[in-house]
């Protein structure tokens, strides 16, 4: 990445573009859920305006089925300033899909997104960052479908000589990994930085963590979902008795009112660019 002439440090911005309401209710209730395209588009408008204010460019890692569910005009709007990547077709965990179904999910998502946007789609992020334990077939599938970049992995300790990227196993060097630094273990690792942690942590802590990880060789990387900056979205409609899911939804709504101001502050320090700038 090239440094900006305005003194801001180069960094990567990614947006996971997904239908959060449908996915959460589907996964926790075990039943198919209706799409919510108007909500997704309203939240997308908020994010696009915020990125313009921040003079930031991003990679929008989109769920493939949104290509048919959102207005056709959405995709050229994103592609005019940003890049479009892939977040799976159905937003399912990679390990649960297995090698064959994962490859077909990738193929369908990439084709539909490219058709809708009219631009190449070369970047991927696994739903729920769920690629752990899926080597080498995870990388083999990415390479076979034509992806060049992945950002699905979290590292606690970078390997010797690390300079921000790694080859994805199983790809023969054809796919580059842009990993997230993390703190902790298992599913509850604190990923630096985005989503829940971006909303909950104070800005000084966020800037400290980003600077610390940059010193360790990581590319400064922020990821958000459109709902992270939407305090007006109604709560998820869980039935009575789903108290854990309701508590989780309440937590995911916390901090949405301050997320935009945090991003504006970070944009005065970092010049956010799409993930593809690492290989272009």
Is pLDDT of 141 > 90? Answer: yes
Instruction: Determine the distance from the C-alpha atom of residue 210 to the mean position of all C-alpha atoms in its chain, rounded to a whole number.
Output: 17
- pLDDT tier for residue 6 given thresholds of 50, 70 and 90: confident
Output helix, strand, coil percentages for the chain, rounded to the nearest 5: 45, 15, 40
Is pLDDT of 87 > 80? Answer: yes
pTM: 0.95
- Return all residues near 165 (Cβ < 8 A) that are at least 6 apart: 176, 177, 178, 179, 219, 278
Domains and CATH numbers, the chain: 9-278 (3.20.20.370)
Contact in structure between 109 and 88 (CB atoms under 8 Å): yes
Per-residue pLDDT at 67: 97
Per-residue pLDDT at 3: 54
Per-residue pLDDT at 184: 75
- Return all residues near 48 (Cβ < 8 A) that are at least 6 apart: 77, 78
Structure token pair of residue 185: 């273990």
3-state secondary structure of 150: strand
- pLDDT tier for residue 189 given thresholds of 50, 70 and 90: confident
Give CA–CA dist 47/74, Å, rounded.
13
Give CA–CA dist 103/100, Å, rounded.
5
Sheet (strand 180-183) strand order: 154-155, 180-183, 190-191
């Amino acid at each position: 990445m090239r440094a900006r002439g305005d003194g801001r440090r180069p960094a990567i911005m990614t947006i996971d573009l997904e239908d959060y309401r449908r996915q959460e209710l589907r996964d926790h209730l075990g039943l198919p859920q209706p799409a919510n395209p108007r909500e997704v588009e309203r939240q997308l408008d908020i994010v696009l305006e915020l990125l313009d204010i921040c003079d930031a460019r991003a990679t929008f890692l989109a769920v493939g089925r949104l290509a048919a569910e959102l207005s056709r005009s959405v995709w050229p709007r994103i592609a005019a300033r940003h890049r479009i990547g892939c977040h799976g077709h159905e937003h399912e965990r990679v390990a649960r899909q297995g090698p064959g179904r994962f490859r077909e999910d990738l193929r369908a998502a990439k084709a539909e997104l490219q058709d809708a946007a009219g631009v190449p789609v070369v970047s991927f992020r696994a739903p729920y960052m769920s690629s752990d334990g899926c080597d080498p077939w995870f990388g083999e599938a990415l390479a076979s479908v034509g992806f060049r970049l992945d950002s699905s992995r979290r590292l606690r300790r970078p390997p010797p000589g690390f300079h921000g990227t790694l080859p994805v196993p199983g790809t023969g060097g054809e796919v580059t990994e842009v990993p997230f630094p993390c703190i902790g273990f298992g599913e509850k690792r604190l990923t630096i930085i985005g989503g829940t942690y971006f909303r909950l942590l104070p800005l000084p802590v966020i800037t400290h963590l980003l600077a610390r990880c940059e010193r360790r060789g990581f590319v400064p990387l922020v990821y958000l979902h459109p709902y992270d900056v939407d305090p007006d979205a109604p709560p998820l409609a869980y039935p009575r008795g789903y108290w854990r899911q309701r508590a989780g939804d309440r937590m995911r709504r916390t901090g949405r009112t301050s997320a935009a101001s945090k991003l504006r502050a970070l944009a005065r320090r970092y010049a956010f660019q799409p993930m593809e700038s690492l290989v272009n």
